[in-house]
Amino acid sequence: MIDLKRLVRAHFKENSLSKVSTKINSGNFFEDFTIGQKIKHPLPRTITDGDVSFYIALTGSRFALHSGQCLAKEFGYNRRPLDDLLMFHLTFGKSVQDISLNAIANLGYAEVKFPYPVYVGDTVRLETKIIGLKENSNGKSGVVYVHSIGYNQFNEEILNLKRWVMVHKRNKGEMSGINDVPTFAKTTPISEELNIPKADKISTSSTGGDYFWEDYEEGERLNHIEGITIDDSDHTLATKLYQNNAKVHFNDHMMQNSPVGERLMYGGHVISIARSISFNGLQNAQWIYSINSGAHANPTLAGDTIYAYTEVIEKIDHNRADLGLLRLRTIALKNMTPTEVEDARGEDGKYLPNVVLDLDYTVVIPKKPKNKLNKK
Amino acid sequence: MIDLKRLVRAHFKENSLSKVSTKINSGNFFEDFTIGQKIKHPLPRTITDGDVSFYIALTGSRFALHSGQCLAKEFGYNRRPLDDLLMFHLTFGKSVQDISLNAIANLGYAEVKFPYPVYVGDTVRLETKIIGLKENSNGKSGVVYVHSIGYNQFNEEILNLKRWVMVHKRNKGEMSGINDVPTFAKTTPISEELNIPKADKISTSSTGGDYFWEDYEEGERLNHIEGITIDDSDHTLATKLYQNNAKVHFNDHMMQNSPVGERLMYGGHVISIARSISFNGLQNAQWIYSINSGAHANPTLAGDTIYAYTEVIEKIDHNRADLGLLRLRTIALKNMTPTEVEDARGEDGKYLPNVVLDLDYTVVIPKKPKNKLNKK
Amino acid sequence: MIDLKRLVRAHFKENSLSKVSTKINSGNFFEDFTIGQKIKHPLPRTITDGDVSFYIALTGSRFALHSGQCLAKEFGYNRRPLDDLLMFHLTFGKSVQDISLNAIANLGYAEVKFPYPVYVGDTVRLETKIIGLKENSNGKSGVVYVHSIGYNQFNEEILNLKRWVMVHKRNKGEMSGINDVPTFAKTTPISEELNIPKADKISTSSTGGDYFWEDYEEGERLNHIEGITIDDSDHTLATKLYQNNAKVHFNDHMMQNSPVGERLMYGGHVISIARSISFNGLQNAQWIYSINSGAHANPTLAGDTIYAYTEVIEKIDHNRADLGLLRLRTIALKNMTPTEVEDARGEDGKYLPNVVLDLDYTVVIPKKPKNKLNKK
């Protein structure tokens, strides 16, 4: 999407002038990465109540655990834990300037875990190891595979993810032939221990949802009824809040010369909107355990209305008597309602043009309480 | 405004597929309500400094009591109390999914009271009782009358309101003939006690206003000079912040098929903008005691510029030596200045097309200090 | 830009009606100011984490000192200090209703200092003295020169600035001949003491920048590579957050009749965007010591993409062994990249039409640490 010729020309022009500074970080190109390389991303970020309010305003999210302090205490927390996706965006955003500033596309995610709760006041940071490189045959770009781990201020692991990104080559046409692609687990393995307090006093009149783990069945499809239209300021405010500085999201002047002709929405914002829409039907599924895989099937632009439906892929029991897991697939659509779509892919196996997200993830949801006194 | 045919068709289509979930809450229709029915709305909401900043950004509100901690202490508070309307929106928003998700229009408010101050850190929740039902003669819809009470985490009553909403019927044409309409007080009665600290040290150089209760006269009209243009992201961010999920405010794709052709602005946002504009002339009227009645006379759309004027309807004395009340009527206009409007209603008794809000409310304002040392 | 005729006509119309209130503050006109006059601006403002998050969302700012609590502690602070420009906007915004409500244009700034750090929880206020008046020969307007000082709740001086503004005359054509223009220092003098903790443990892997005071040279030019597009909601949310109520920024209905035809962006927002863009190349320059002078060379409108380049004008040593200063000139451009601009002014000495800001300011930046162990 980036006009690389122009960037390179600018680069050379810069170097031909005597005093033009070389202190500008123009991001890493494909050739700048090596397998095994480790990167400490700068800008540890303290998360505040301001971020939490902003996230609710951006997404309309209603999961009760993140909305109310009293409810969080009923759930056994001292304080409201952060919405997993808000934490994801604030932590993940740090990697953009080193990994994906010159990205053509975020191709996928795998084995994304949220191992430890994050709270207001915590400071998160991110470190990344390069785990794979694959040159594209066109000689212009390549795919970089990374493994990133996020930490809080106590060095507790709060995020663990793998992703792959297509980035521009600095020197087009010079082939290295590198083709070292890692393998990923199809789903993130489920741990013996869940860092979630005992969930035996769920007030469904507070969470807004009557359904528990036992109530869902594999193959069930939830056609969420809400649609949320996203405007320019929404998605750019979100992306700036996360200090994600990938140019394609911000710079309309540059993007006017790209095939899409305008700013692309940060894919993470689409994930958050889809998750927010999925509330209706999954009210008690308040924890994301993992993102098993994710694909941004088509670009989302300002003005698009996002809809979503969710399929229950798998019911996963756990040794915890109070909690179970559901592996879900949420499909986000633009300008098309869930009832208009039978399958996200057409007969040719390709995503329909209105499909913008295919997210395979696992959530934690309480089991049905033993006594029925929970409904106050 | 909602394409009910399409909703119903989708509903039937869902039920004809084997695995389509019935866990989606598609909101209540007219037939789902009964008089005397009680509803505990889910999602208690903790209010933070993030919400306060966001509200200022959305409205430009400048009432000093809510802007500065030091001033709030001068007013006798330990902490800045929340702007009454911000609290209203955050509490009221909870009722949408149960009451007005399928609303055609919010028809009116009555007897709205703000009995107890709310602070940052408080958690608010809402309960509602159905107090009236009236079927419309067209057989397609009906009016639901509700009485809602908001509480903080100590079960203190912080909001008390009645409102009526036109909602779709699930089964068009099936008439029940119900016509049970409650009566409302024309104005909210004034209590003997006001939950406001002694206001005897008002620094007018801090509040920005020189006028006190004695200075206003009945019949006086304040033509506020500011106009505020509202854009798409403004009003949708506001409505999402309040976790108000009424579809008409968010879903542009759906609304393109409605008569208005685009998203409708949440009427509460218009009230907040009008209140913010009314600051200039009413700087010391920092507490809303009640909303006696309110009508959203015409829809407001993104791009509209809101103006407002205020008429002093009644001066109400109080046994408090330091405080009095003013019953006000604020008219909000779109794309028309107050000096262009003599009366909100035309000769036919109907609201002018540019009138978007007719709000009858009562504010508390300090009386003139006995000594004049207050102006530092 | 304001249709004064209309304002005046409205004013007379108001006064001809019996009950139209005169309590509206319609702002000061040129004739309302006298040299030596002192103004206490109302609305002391408490700054919260909500403001900090909002500022990051509005600007994408990434200066590490303001992003992370842990890093601020490494820098010797107990808490994250506020971004100097956020504090500037929140404090400065107070002066608008008294000084520039009827402004035609903000003409310039001089001797702007940030003498003391401000933290979340502080309450800021502003006082102003009129230091100069110059009537324009057209008889319609004049220039008002002011000296404003901002204080925190402990009456510590946290902002000190001079600025001049062109405002409308109330009575066009009546000439007073006043022409009393103050002189300004070309640059803000540098103090012997800097209110900054000892900066000897800078972790460049946290700040994201490898360059220190010694690394920069006079004449060096940094062509920042990022561009940020600003939309309507962005700049109006910013300006409302700062409680800056200058009509030109908010009222699109009024501005449609102005030469520019739409809302003008608050110039301070452009300064913040330019500063945010300048991060790439100046990552360690986390303190603004002063703004020596600033000019809004051309208006910025919604939809414009802002780019910026920075010239190092002067390296200023300081008796502090750990800190030095750089006097910088940041030029912000709209819809034009830095590499396309050799000089902000054309051969005729006038600013190019795409130049929107010419900011001469001084930043503090750590000196190179004595041992090289700082890079973790």
Kindly state the tokens that stand for B315.
């001066």
If you count them, how many residues does chain C have?
376
Residue C249 near residue C239 (C-beta atoms within 8 A): yes
Q: What is the DSSP letter of B264?
A: P
Query: What are the b/e assignments for B93-130, b being 16+ CB within 10 Å?
Result: bbbbbbbbbbbbbbbbbbbbbbbbbbebebbbbbbbeb
Q: CB-based burial of residue C173 (10 Å sphere; 0-12 exposed, 13-18 middle, 19+ buried)?
A: exposed
Number of alpha carbons in the 13 Å side-chain half-sphere of residue B87: 30
- Of the candidates C24, C125, C236, the beta carbon closest to that of B222 is on C24
Q: Do residues A119 and A152 touch, judged by C-beta distance below 8 A?
A: no
Q: Are B178 and B142 in contact (CB under 8 A)?
A: yes
3-state percent breakdown (helix, strand, coil) of chain B, nearest 5: 25, 30, 45
pLDDT > 90 fraction of chain A, expressed in percent and rounded: 84
* pLDDT digits 0-9 by tens, C190-242: 999 999 999 877 888 899 999 999 999 999 999 999 999 999 999 999 999 99
Instruction: Name the amino acid, one letter, at B25.
Output: N
CA-CA distance, C335 to B308, in Å (whole number)? 37
Cα-based distances in Å from C230 to A24, A199, C265, C266: 23, 45, 9, 12
* Confidence category of residue A9, pLDDT binned at 50, 70, 90: very low
Phi/psi for B159 (5° steps) reads: -155, 140
Cα–Cα dist A207/A196, whole Å: 17
What type of residue is B2? I
Question: Where residue A333 falls among pLDDT bands split at 50, 70, 90?
Answer: very high
Nearest to C144 by CA among C100, C185, C97: C100
In C127-166, the residues whose Cβ lies within 8 Å of chain B are 153
Please answer yes or no on whether C305 and A251 come within 8 Å at the CB atom: yes
Over residues B167-196, the pLDDT tens digits come to 999 998 889 999 999 999 999 999 999 999
Tell me if C20 and B221 make a contact (CB, 8 A cut-off): yes
Write down the H helix ranges in C242-300. Answer: 252-255, 267-277
Q: How far apart are CA C88 and CA C268, in angstroms?
A: 9
Task: Report how far residue A189's alpha carbon sits from residue A292's, in angstroms, rounded to the nearest whole number.
Answer: 9
Q: Quote the strand ranges of A123-277, DSSP E.
A: 123-135, 141-151, 157-168, 179-180, 221-223, 228-229
Q: What is the pLDDT of residue B3?
A: 52
Determine contact, residues B106/B100, Cβ cutoff 8 Å. Answer: yes
Using CA atoms, how far apart are residues C70 and C106, in angstroms rounded to an integer? 38
Can you count the helices (H) and strands (E) in chain C? 8, 13
Interface A–B counts its CB contacts (< 8 A) at 152
pLDDT in tens, A18-56: 489 999 998 999 999 999 999 999 999 999 999 999 999
Residue of B13, B233, B245 with shortest CB distance to A226: B245
Cα–Cα distance between C4 and C29 in angstroms, integer? 11
| Contacts with C232 from chain A: Cβ below 8 Å | 233
- C-alpha distances (whole Å) from C175 to each of C8, C134, C179 are 18, 11, 11
Please check whether residue A277 is in contact with residue A226, taking contact to mean a CB–CB distance below 8 angstroms: yes
**Residue A100 DSSP label:** I
Residue-level pLDDT at B244:
94
Residues sharing a CB contact under 8 Å with residue B90, sequence separation 6 or more, in sequence order: B45, B47, B51, B124, B241, B242, B243
Residues whose CB falls within 8 Å of the CB of residue B347, separated by 6 or more in sequence, listed in order: none
pLDDT 10s digits, C179-188? 999 999 999 9
pLDDT band at B361 (very low <50, low <70, confident <90, very high): very high
Taking the CB of residue A310, how many other CB atoms lie within 10 A of it? 28
Q: Look at residue A174 in the predicted model and tell me its pLDDT.
A: 87
Residue numbers of B between 232 and 251 with CB closer than 8 Å to C? 232-234, 237
Beta partners for residue B124, in sequence order: B45
- Any CB–CB contact under 8 A between C308 and chain A? no
pLDDT of residue C11: 46
Pair of tokens at residue A191: 């741990």
Cβ within 8 Å of B, C 39-58:
40, 42-46, 48-51, 53-54
Q: Complex ipTM, two decimals?
A: 0.93
DSSP string, C52-74: HHHHHHHH----GGGT-HHHHHH
Decide if B252 and A229 are in contact by the 8 Å CB cutoff: yes
Q: State how far the alpha carbon of C101 is from the alpha carbons of A42, C52, C173, C238, C246, in Å.
A: 42, 26, 21, 17, 5
φ, ψ of residue A248 to 5 degrees: the values are: -60, -20
Q: DSSP of C130-147, one letter per residue?
A: EEEEEE-TTSSEEEEEEE
B113 CA: distance to closest CA in chain A (Å): 23
Give how far Cα C278 sits from Cα of C43, C271, C275, C330, Å: 32, 10, 5, 8
**pLDDT at residue A374 tops 80:** no
Nearest to C67 by CA among C279, C348, C318: C279
**Cβ distance C125 to C274 under 8 Å?**
no
Alpha-carbon gap, residue B180 to A125, rounded angstroms: 60
In angstroms, how far is the first alpha carbon of chain A from the final one?
A: 54
Best of A253, A262, A265 to substitute, by most chain C Cβ atoms within 10 angstroms, is A253
pLDDT for A169-220, tens place per residue?
999 888 999 999 999 999 999 999 999 999 877 888 899 999 999 999 999 9
- Which helix (DSSP H) or strand (DSSP E) does residue C111 occupy? strand C103-113
C chain contacts of residue B215, beta-carbon cutoff 8 Å: 23
* Residue range B48-57: mean pLDDT, rounded: 98
Token reading at A151: 């930490």
Structure-block tokens of residue C351:
């600013």
Q: For the residues A304-322, what does the mean pLDDT come to?
A: 97
Report the pLDDT value the prediction gives residue A70, as an integer from 0 to 100.
87
pLDDT of res. A3: 52
A214 phi, psi to nearest 5 deg? -65, -25
Q: Which helix (H) or strand (E) holds C85?
A: helix C84-92
Note the Cα C165 to chain centre separation in Å: 13
Among all chains, which residue has been given the structure tokens 């009782």? B129
Cβ contacts of B259-262, under 8 Å, gap ≥ 24? B259/B1, B260/B1, B260/B299, B260/B301, B262/B301, B262/B302
Range name among A240-254, A321-335, C193-207 with the lowest pLDDT average: C193-207
Confidence of residue C371 (pLDDT cuts 50, 70, 90): low
Report yes or no: C305 at the A interface, CB cutoff 8 Å: yes
Residues 6+ apart with CB under 8 A from B221: B309, B310, B311, B312, C17, C19, C20, C21
Average pLDDT over residues C356-370: 95
Chain C neighbours (≥3 Cβ pairs under 8 A) are: A, B
Question: Does residue C148 contact residue C110 with C-beta atoms inside 8 Å?
Answer: no
Whether this prediction's pTM lies above 0.90 is answered by yes
How far apart are the C-alpha atoms of A42 and A95, rounded to whole Å?
A: 8
* Cα C302 from Cα B249, distance rounded (Å): 23
- In tens, the pLDDT along B108-148 reads 899 999 999 999 999 999 999 999 999 999 999 999 999 99
A to C CB pairs, distance under 8 Å: 152
Count of CB atoms situated within 10 Å of the CB of B257: 11
B179 SS3 class: strand
B310: closest CA of chain C, how far (Å): 10
Contacts of A14 in chain C (CB under 8 A): 223, 339
Residue linked to tokens 């439906």: A309
Please give the Cα distance from A111 to A291 (Å, whole number).
6
